[in-house]
C-alpha cells in the first residue's frame, strides 16, 4: 500500500500546483501500472504515470512536470475503446482535478499491444476478475476505430492472436 500512497501524494501535489498556478480544473485518465495500483487492482511497484493525452492545453504540462516520470499516451496510438470513460471510476480525494482509473478490462486490453513480461504478469492477475465478454466488446471497439494508427492496429492484431490463445478470450 506504500506505493499507492506515494503515487496518490504525487497527484495531490500536482493538484496543489494546478490550483496555485490557477490552471483551469482538468481530468486525468491514467493507464498502466499507476492506474492498476491507484485503482487497487494490483499491488506492485511503479514510479511513472501513463496518462492518456486528451489534447491538453500546454499549460497542463506545468502541472504534469511535478509528477516526475510520466508518459503522455496519444489517444490515436493507444488501444483504448471510445467508450472507456463510461467504465472509468473517479479516484476519491481530489477537489480541483479529476483523476480517473479505467476498468480492469480496459487496462487489460490496453496492455495487449506490448505483451511484455510485466504486462503478462499484470494480465495474469487482472484477468481472474475480468468480464471476458466485455473484453471482447472493447477489442471490437478498438478494431473499429478509424483514428487508431494503422501501424499500431497492426501490432495490436499480431499480439491479439497471442493474447487470445493464452487467455482463451
Model confidence pLDDT, tens digit, residues 107-164: 999 999 999 999 999 999 999 999 999 999 999 999 999 999 999 999 999 999 999 9
Structural domains of the chain in order of their starting residue, each with its CATH number: 1-167 (3.30.460)
Model confidence pLDDT, tens digit, residues 151-169: 999 999 999 999 999 999 9
Phi and psi torsions of 113, nearest 5°: -60, -25
Which residues make beta-bridge pairs with 99? Answer: 28
Q: Are 66 and 17 in contact (CB under 8 A)?
A: yes
Q: Are 54 and 27 in contact (CB under 8 A)?
A: yes
Distance separating alpha carbons of residues 147 and 54, to the nearest angstrom: 13
* Beta strand spans in 91-134 (E): 98-101
What's the whole-model pTM score?
0.94
Amino acid at each position: 500500500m506504500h506505493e499507492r500512497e506515494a503515487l496518490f501524494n504525487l497527484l495531490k501535489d500536482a493538484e496543489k500546483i494546478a490550483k496555485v498556478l490557477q490552471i483551469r480544473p482538468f481530468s486525468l485518465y491514467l493507464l498502466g501500472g499507476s492506474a492498476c495500483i491507484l485503482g487497487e487492482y494490483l499491488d506492485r511497484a511503479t514510479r511513472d504515470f501513463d496518462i492518456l493525452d486528451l489534447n491538453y492545453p500546454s499549460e497542463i504540462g506545468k502541472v504534469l512536470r511535478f509528477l516526475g516520470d510520466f508518459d503522455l499516451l496519444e489517444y490515436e496510438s493507444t488501444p483504448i475503446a471510445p467508450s472507456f470513460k463510461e467504465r472509468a471510476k473517479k479516484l476519491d480525494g481530489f477537489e480541483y482535478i479529476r483523476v480517473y482509473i479505467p476498468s480492469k478490462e480496459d487496462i487489460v486490453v490496453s496492455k495487449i499491444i506490448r505483451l511484455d513480461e510485466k504486462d503478462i504478469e499484470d494480465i495474469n492477475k487482472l484477468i481472474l476478475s475480468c468480464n471476458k465478454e466485455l473484453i471482447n466488446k472493447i477489442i471490437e471497439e478498438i478494431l473499429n476505430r478509424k483514428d487508431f494508427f494503422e501501424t499500431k492496429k497492426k501490432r495490436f492484431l499480431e499480439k491479439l492472436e497471442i493474447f487470445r490463445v493464452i487467455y482463451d478470450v
